Amino acid sequence: MSAPRSHSLVIGAGLAGLAAADVLASELGGGRQVTVIEPSGRVGGVLGTVHGDGWLVERSADCFLAARPEAVTLARRLGLDSELIGVEPRARRALVWHAGRGVPAPAGFRLMAPGRATGILTTSLLSPLGRARLLWERFVPARRPASGDEDESLESFATRRLGREAFDRLVQPLASGIWTADPARLSMAAACGDFLAMERDAGSLWAGERARLRRQAGVSESSGARYGQFVTLASGMETLPRRLADDLRSRGVRFVTGSVSSLERTNDDRWQMAGTGLDAAAATADTVVIAAPAPVASGMLDRLDRLLADDLSAIDYAGSCIVSLGFARDQVSHPLDAAGMVIPRVAGRRILAVSFSSSKFPGRAPPGCVLMRVFVGGALDREVMELDDDALVELALGEVGYLLGARGEPKLASVERWNQAMPQYHVGHLARVARIEAAVSRHPGLAVAGAAYTGVGIPQVIASGQVAARRCLGSV
């Protein structure tokens, strides 16, 4: 097959790559080819759904935030309106393990922003001194960093503003359920920029959160995360990338199983790829979007731009495992009346969190059964990835037995391993991303996309691919 007259190549068929291909296919005129190359031969990246015997098990993310428009807009454009379902009302709260039981996060408390004094005053998660220290946050002076020192770790920020006890018992477990990161290294600017802005603009988190709630008057806020704003697809999360891939194929986008090891600029200002599975049509392109993990992108670009490759390789990744367990309802004594439970590191347990899948969404377990997903690993427990599947299931069973009163043999037990799958936004991440973007911009027709740069959530990943495609087209 000869190379087309004008060709755009997307490397990676995860959600970022598919979103980039969507924009390219929409904005490139007739006679132009878009190719997506993916080594695994499947679409969706980490998104995957397993169906069987009445169970619906998500292999990674099980929902996304609807407050950002990218994912909902895409789903609706693909005709998935009827598939969109929200978290069940009775499950719209988070539990935190404390003193031998799961305690609801304080009403109105959003990760680290205390929106209601009554919620803080009445919570049993904190001691009287801990509650008083958290309530004192409104009087803590705002940090005035020197130029170039604006970033701060999540742990430093939260303990400075809320106190050590609130961090250990509330912020750390809630944050670990999102980023599986080391809070002493997690960048506030990259991961929680809105809270930094509250301190900078309003003087405190109390004032900033109250102002935000006034702007969003009428939006219900449950304890912990804003679970009422999260949605999923009734048939599972994998439906979104699969439907998008089918739509792209119907519009002439070509999918190739293969990989790219390096790319270089040709004398006629095109891109030449080396790798496996590349025919003439895929090996040369006018524009290239690299929607692969940062270390993989680094390897591709090492010969082209060593400094860019070094910055990409410096983005750290952590792994985690998800153990999905299904039980008959009468095997679990806990009411499972929440979206899930997060476990503070100070509690000394071996797991990060348990998601109550069948409580959150309908159709996740057969009648009379419950499904839960146990999260282990992350940046602070990398050794757990060395356990075999049987050991991971045994660990998870022991934990849900202790935490939730689960007993007996599970009806379902499966393990998903995500080795080095979660990018870590360490302090200084935004400065590194700015350098990466500046370096990429010096190579017309090239762009990078994915979870490694500006957000790990599904809407952010989709936006990353869309922005990368438009930048790529705008530079040629």
State residue 220's pLDDT score. 46
Q: What is the β-pairing status of strands 6-11 and 32-38? A: parallel
Q: Is the sign of the CA dihedral 122, 124, 128, 130 positive or negative?
A: negative
Write the DSSP string, 426-465.
Answer: BTTHHHHHHHHHHHHHTSTTEEE-STTTS-SSHHHHHHHH
**Phi/psi of residue 141, nearest 5 degrees:** -60, 145
Looking at residue 228, what is its pLDDT? 66
Q: Percent of the chain at pLDDT above 70?
A: 95
pLDDT at 215 (0 to 100): 83
Give residue 222's pLDDT: 45
**Mean pLDDT, residues 136-164 taken together:** 90
**221 has a pLDDT exceeding 50:** no
pLDDT tier, 144 (very low <50, low <70, confident <90, very high otherwise) = confident
Structural domains present in the chain: 6-46+237-315+425-474 (3.50.50.60), 63-90+317-423 (3.90.660.20), 106-219 (1.10.3110.10)
Strand spans (E) along 87-182: 94-98, 101-104, 109-110, 113-114
Q: Provide the pLDDT confidence category of residue 223 given band limits of 50, 70 and 90.
A: very low
Long-range contacts from 354-360, C-beta under 8 angstroms, 24+ separation: 354/399, 354/400, 354/403, 354/404, 355/62, 356/91, 357/57, 357/58, 357/62, 357/324, 359/88, 359/90, 359/91, 360/62, 360/63, 360/87, 360/88, 360/91, 360/227, 360/232
Whole-prediction pTM: 0.94
For residue 227, the model assigns a pLDDT of: 62
Q: What is the mean pLDDT of the chain?
A: 93
| pLDDT over 90, % of the chain | 86
Cβ neighbours of 420 (radius 10 Å): 14
Q: Are 163 and 113 in contact (CB under 8 A)?
A: no
Comparing 17-26, 96-105, 108-117, the range with the smallest average pLDDT is 108-117
Whether 87 shows a pLDDT value over 50: the answer reads yes
Q: What is the mean pLDDT of residues 144-166?
A: 89
Give the model's pLDDT for residue 224.
41
> Rounded to an integer, what distance in angstroms lies between the CA atom of residue 354 and that of residue 371?
10
Report the pLDDT value the prediction gives residue 148, as an integer from 0 to 100.
63
The pair of structure tokens assigned to 459 is 């809407």
Q: What is the mean pLDDT of residues 255-261?
A: 96
Q: What is the pLDDT of residues 402-427, one digit of tens each?
A: 999 999 999 999 999 999 999 999 99
